[in-house]
Every structure is written in structure tokens, then in C-alpha cells.
Amino acid sequence: MKINTFMPGKLKPFFMEELKKAEHYFVKQDFQICWYHLERAHILGQPYPYHHTLVHWKMLLIGIKIKNRREIVGQIPRLLVGGVKSFVGEIPVGNTGGANVPPLKSMEIPADLNCIIYENR
């Protein structure tokens, strides 16, 4: 069992850039592009409890903003359990984090993110 606590310093700028882009599009109320960047942040942050939970919080906020009941209900258990799963290293790799995806389903990591993860872990 691998215990994860902190995101590697070299990986954090890539995670933060995705969050910054998500926030930009959230403010512009372009929730589709905002969501895209949150999914990318989720993939990068998923192994790390704080970062993983933060992305689910932001996904919940979008669900509330757009009044998407499925997303709101889907994010609550992810908020409660996601960080714990990250802490003990039991995550479905590549999962994008939205309620439209089963929470335990592994997914293919986009090539650019795979390179970022590999080169900066």
C-alpha cells in the first residue's frame, strides 16, 4: 500500500494551471470548458488527497451553479471518500471525476497529461 500525502513540487504547477483555467472559464460562465479543465486537474491531482478533494469541491460548485442534480448528488460521496482513497493509493487511474463516470472506473490518461505525470512525479 502506498500512502500519498503531498503532490510533488514539479507536478503542482501543471495542476494549478488547470485550476486557473477552470476558474477563468467559471467566471465567464463557460461551464463546458471549465469542466474540461477540472477533469484534467482531477487526473493530475487524483493521487493526492487534498488536491483530489479540492477538484471534487469545485465540481460540486459547478453542479450547484448549473442546477445539475445528478452532479450534485454524484459529487457528495466523491468528496467524502475520494481523498481517503487517494491517501491509501487506491484510485481508478485516469478517472475524470464527474458523476457521468462510474467512480471506480479506470480510464485512459490523455497523452499530454501522461507525459506531464511521468516526467514530474
Residues 117 and 82: their CA atoms lie apart, in Å, by 19
- Per-residue pLDDT tens digits for 41-60: 999 999 999 999 999 999 99
Grid look-up 514530474 returns 120
Question: Domain coordinates of the chain in residue numbers?
Answer: 12-120
Residue 4 has pLDDT above 80, yes or no: no
pTM of the predicted model as reported, rounded to 2 decimal places:
0.94
78 vs 5: which has the higher pLDDT = 78
Question: Quick one: 89 exposed, middle or buried, by C-beta within 10 A (0-12, 13-18, 19+)?
Answer: exposed
- Per-residue pLDDT tens digits for 61-100: 999 999 999 999 999 999 999 888 888 888 899 999 999 9
DSSP 6-60: S--TTTHHHHHHHHHHHHHHHHTT-HHHHHHHHHHHHHHHTTSHHHHHHHHHHHH
